[in-house]
Amino acid sequence: MKKPINVVVVISGSGSNLQTLIDQAAAININITGVISNIASAYGLTRAAQANIPTQVVDHTQFSDRTAFDTALMVAIDSYQPDLVVLAGFMRILTPALTKHYTGRMLNIHPSLLPKYRGLHTHKRALEAGDKEHGATVHFVTEELDGGPNVIQAIVPVADSDTEASLMEKVQEKEHKIYPQAVAWFAEGNLKMEHNKAFLMGEMLPPTGKRLPNDSSLAGTKQANN
């Protein structure tokens, strides 16, 4: 097995996606070297501390503008020497200087089937539009907000009875499958971004990214590889 890659996870909240990465770190061959939050009370920091992972808070309210915040964030991230930076519920918009610095080595998870519903309130917007399908996407981060090339998506059927809360829960359940999968591919050296396109094992991924089959219960790292 290859040497584990160093991963830094950046959060703003509960950190349930962080938790799945902590739980699967050995299986997917990653070493989470640091967790950074812009919110001091984020529960994800507790999860990291419980797993003995170093943490830092970079509080955006302490900076005069986005550039100053992003500069401090970059210093914090780079202090953990990441091969990959994973945004997991990080709720700040990043400057082009920061996204350029991490080109091809920063992933984000977004609670919609991108390019649908970039930005906030995705579950509400899907319900209001009467969508029959909703979901989550892992994508490479570029300077375009929620606009970098897609890596993998999971679809969630929307039931008539769904509320924002029930939909969020179903989507998060899928997130916890697709994020470890995408990170595993990266750690294996099989996932790359070149010229603003995502490649898996040398093959360009379609605009949707890979699709996690509806009934899949991904346990290993290879199952969505086909």
Q: Which stretch binds ligand GAR (CB under 6 A): 27-35, 108-116, 123-131, 196-204?
A: 108-116
Whether residue 12 contacts residue 35, with contact meaning beta carbons closer than 8 Å, is answered with: no
Q: Does 55 bind ligand GAR (CB under 6 A)?
A: no
DSSP state of 149: P
CB of 111 to ligand GAR, least distance (A): 4
Dihedral (Cα; 41, 43, 48, 52), 10-degree rounding: 70
R_g of the chain, CA atoms, integer Å:
17
Q: Does 14 bind ligand GAR (CB under 6 A)?
A: yes
Q: Does 15 bind ligand GAR (CB under 6 A)?
A: yes
DSSP state of 201: T
Beta-carbon count within 10 A of 102 CB: 21
110 flagged as catalytic = yes
- CA distances 187 to 64, 82, 116, 221, Å, are 36, 12, 28, 10
- Please identify which of the residues 110, 123, 134, 176 carries the catalytic annotation: 110
Q: Does 89 bind ligand GAR (CB under 6 A)?
A: yes
- Per CB under 6 A, the list member of 4, 13, 104, 147 interacting with ligand GAR is 13
Nearer to ligand GAR, 111 or 180 (CB): 111
Residues 6+ apart with CB under 8 A from 99: 106, 141, 142, 143
Nearest position to ligand GAR, beta carbon = 89
Residue 152 pairs with which residues in a beta bridge?
138, 210
Q: Does 149 bind ligand GAR (CB under 6 A)?
A: no
- Per CB under 6 A, the list member of 47, 105, 110, 139 interacting with ligand GAR is 110
Q: Summarize as ranges the residues that interact with ligand GAR (CB under 6 A).
A: 11, 13-17, 44, 88-89, 109-111, 136, 172, 175
Question: Binding site for (6R)-10-formyltetrahydrofolate: which residues?
Answer: 66, 91-94, 108
Active-site residue numbers?
Answer: 110
